[in-house]
Amino acid sequence: MVSKNEMITFLQSEFPKAQIVIEDFTDNSVVIRHQVRQEDLRPGGTVSGPTMMALADTALYIALLRQIGLVSLAVTTSLNFNFLRKPVADLDLLAECKLLKLGKSLAVGEVGICSEGHEVPVAHATGTYSIPPRH
Amino acid sequence: MVSKNEMITFLQSEFPKAQIVIEDFTDNSVVIRHQVRQEDLRPGGTVSGPTMMALADTALYIALLRQIGLVSLAVTTSLNFNFLRKPVADLDLLAECKLLKLGKSLAVGEVGICSEGHEVPVAHATGTYSIPPRH
Amino acid sequence: MVSKNEMITFLQSEFPKAQIVIEDFTDNSVVIRHQVRQEDLRPGGTVSGPTMMALADTALYIALLRQIGLVSLAVTTSLNFNFLRKPVADLDLLAECKLLKLGKSLAVGEVGICSEGHEVPVAHATGTYSIPPRH
Amino acid sequence: MVSKNEMITFLQSEFPKAQIVIEDFTDNSVVIRHQVRQEDLRPGGTVSGPTMMALADTALYIALLRQIGLVSLAVTTSLNFNFLRKPVADLDLLAECKLLKLGKSLAVGEVGICSEGHEVPVAHATGTYSIPPRH
């Protein structure tokens, strides 16, 4: 099991530009915060879809690597998104990932995304990662 | 809001062959039980994928009609399934649906399916229904 | 590569109740016909969603086994459906599957379903199969 | 129907930073090219998933607005992605969108993405847009 500090160091090294803060980091769920930037916004004062898609993918990746270790070459094989409501432009986004399955070669998880302080989700995703064989 | 008894009467009238029992019926979640029959089984002693897909669609439909009323002509527009583990052949399936969004023209929900008495899900689905305009 | 006759014999043996006829069976696409039965219909004179979901899954399965052989224990890991139009109740359904990827451990395909003689699709699906390691 | 020149002007005005070139623009399909930039790359010499997701969403959006007009406030409601192969890092990506359905309130399309000059797709997506009522 990867510790929270190990994960933070890994993310800073691998994705130095990502505006990600780990909020929760337990067996049951991983919650990450994305600090919304000007470049994430769309006309009309909302956060862009690709920003939320990248965030969901990152939440899945972190929840998975927490379990299988940081050296793995896990790759996304499928992602399904439902966009539910407009996110608020000037609030951070929180993404909570729960793993539904962690098999030997496939992992599946779901992600709910909310604007900070709001209970209703702005987006929901499910995704599958392929886990390469370990040597 | 449709009552549990109204829903049971509706299901018996519209889907007389469905082996569905409503277990929970609240604002937060609807749980239905499917009594697995011989015809639902696949070689190898497991429940067929289409049986689970039909169950997830039914759970979404019941959770939605509970909110919008039995007269509505809501139709499924998309369904996304992840098959996680083999269901146990001789146990009933329980499907729990939570609505993620109930808008004027679209509703989105997620469904987890378990073999009775087991906590880990055998399948997970998200689906979208189109709600026709009310007159 | 499995021949068309081998596949027909296999389907009759494994799925004796399925009303499936193989129409096309080439490298580029597999087309199967489903003879719509009374039990497939929904109130309002249309074919049920689960009938189309089962058909899409079967088309994917046949297209995949054609390539990897009939002994494989391939299992569906995810399916995504879009329901586009109401199928005509008294016409057969034709499902055409194209494999998008055939990897060592995962295969991905897409399926378009039409009512016979109609060009516009009534449903579209993409699906993923997990292929077990060969010994 | 929106002309190609009108669409180009619209994209330059609404998405000035997008590196999108329209290659094909017909009733049957819209093809757009994305010029891969340094910031789109992932360690290991491949294009990031979010870059491809954003590209698929854009291709759907352009194919839809072509039909319904540039003033529409169409919003993505769902997207489903399959990542099939690693894109080549130093080649442009081409995304081809075909609309599967254009209804009054919902549109559905599929998108195939290839590295330029390659025939096998690196990713495939299907997506749904909600079309607001016209006044």
For chain A (135 residues), the mean pLDDT of every run of 10, in chain order, is 95 85 94 93 85 96 95 90 94 97 95 96 97 74
Q: B78: which chain C residues are within 8 Å (Cβ-Cβ)?
A: 80-83
Q: What's the gap in Å between the CA of D79 and the closest CA on chain B?
A: 10
Residues B61 and B47: their CA atoms lie apart, in Å, by 21
Report the residue of chain A nearest B82, measured CA to CA. Answer: A108
For position C41, what pLDDT does the model report?
87
ipTM: 0.92
Burial profile C44-80: b = 16 or more Cβ within 10 angstroms, e = fewer? eebbbbbbbbbbbbbbbbbbbbbebeeeeebbbbbbb
- Out of C12-16, C34-38, D68-72, the most confident range is C34-38
pTM value surpassing 0.90? yes
Report which of B78, B76, D63, D77 is spatially closest to residue C125, judged by C-alpha positions.
B78
User: Alpha carbon of C55 to those of A66, A106, B35, B48, C21: distances in Å?
Assistant: 38, 25, 23, 13, 11
Q: D50–A49: do the CB atoms touch at under 8 Å?
A: no
A13 CB-side CA count, 13 A: 7
Q: Is it the case that residue D135 has pLDDT exceeding 60?
A: no
- Run of H or E including C64: helix C49-68
Token look-up 């391939």 returns C74
Task: State the average pLDDT for chain A.
Answer: 92
Residue C40 touches partner D, C-beta closer than 8 Å: no
C-alpha distance across the termini of chain C, in Å = 18
Decide if D74 contacts D129 (C-beta within 8 A).
yes
Q: Which residue has the higher pLDDT, B134 or B43?
A: B43
Q: Which two tokens stand for residue C42?
A: 């929904």
Least confident of B8-17, B96-105, D62-71, D103-112: B8-17
Q: Which two tokens stand for residue A96?
A: 């909570």
Residues D98 and D127: their CA atoms lie apart, in Å, by 11
Taking only Cα atoms into account, the Rg of chain B, rounded to an integer number of angstroms, comes to 14
For position B134, what pLDDT does the model report?
66
Q: What is the mean pLDDT of residues B14-31?
A: 90
Q: B128: which chain D residues are within 8 Å (Cβ-Cβ)?
A: 77-78, 128
Q: C121: which chain D residues are within 8 Å (Cβ-Cβ)?
A: 100-101
In DSSP terms, B107 is beta-bridged to B102, B129
- DSSP letter assigned to residue A68: H
Query: How confident is the model over A95-117, as pLDDT tens digits?
Result: 999 999 999 999 999 999 999 99
DSSP E strand stretches across C30-133: 30-34, 41-42, 46-47, 75-83, 93-102, 106-115, 123-130
CB pairs under 8 A between A and B: 37
- DSSP letter assigned to residue C32: E
For position B41, what pLDDT does the model report?
87
Report which of B93, B24, B105 is spatially closest to residue B62, judged by C-alpha positions.
B24
Q: What is the mean pLDDT of residues C121-127?
A: 98
Neighbours of chain B (3+ CB pairs under 8 A): A, C, D
Query: How confident is the model over C41-73, as pLDDT tens digits?
Result: 887 788 999 999 999 999 999 999 999 999 778
Residues 6+ apart with CB under 8 A from C34: C19, C20, C40, C51, C55, C92, C93, C94, C95
Query: How confident is the model over B43-81, as pLDDT tens digits?
Result: 778 899 999 999 999 999 999 999 999 977 899 999 999
Residues C15 and B8: their CA atoms lie apart, in Å, by 33
Q: C79: which chain B residues are within 8 Å (Cβ-Cβ)?
A: 49, 53, 79-81, 83
Decide if C22 contacts C35 (C-beta within 8 A).
no
Token look-up 């962690």 returns A102
Q: Is it the case that residue B3 has pLDDT exceeding 80?
A: yes
Q: What's the gap in Å between the CA of A4 and the closest CA on chain D?
A: 22
CA dihedral over A12, D38, C102, C16, signed as positive or negative? positive
For position D134, what pLDDT does the model report?
66
Q: B110–A108: do the CB atoms touch at under 8 Å?
A: no
Q: D87: which chain C residues are within 8 Å (Cβ-Cβ)?
A: none
Query: How confident is the model over D19-46, as pLDDT tens digits?
Result: 899 999 998 899 999 999 988 888 778 8
The domain segmentation of chain D, as residue ranges, is: 4-130
Residues D128 and B16: their CA atoms lie apart, in Å, by 33
Residue C100 touches partner D, C-beta closer than 8 Å: yes
Residues C113 and C94: their CA atoms lie apart, in Å, by 6
Of all residues in chain C, the percent with pLDDT exceeding 70 is: 99
What architecture is domain B4-130?
Answer: Roll (3.10)
For position A18, what pLDDT does the model report?
80
For position B135, what pLDDT does the model report?
53
Q: What is the mean pLDDT of residues C102-113?
A: 96
Q: Which two tokens stand for residue A42?
A: 């769309």
Neighbours of chain D (3+ CB pairs under 8 A): A, B, C
The DSSP code sequence of A85-123 is: SPPPTTS-EEEEEEEEEE-SSEEEEEEEEEETT--S-SE
Of all residues in chain A, the percent with pLDDT exceeding 90 is: 77
Token look-up 């270790």 returns A69
**Torsion angle, CA of C83/B81/B27/B9, rounded to 10 degrees?**
60
Q: B84: which chain A residues are within 8 Å (Cβ-Cβ)?
A: 100-101, 108
Q: Is it the case that residue B82 has pLDDT exceeding 90?
A: yes
Task: State the average pLDDT for chain B.
Answer: 93
> Quick check: helix, strand or coil at residue A23?
strand
Task: State the average pLDDT for chain C.
Answer: 93
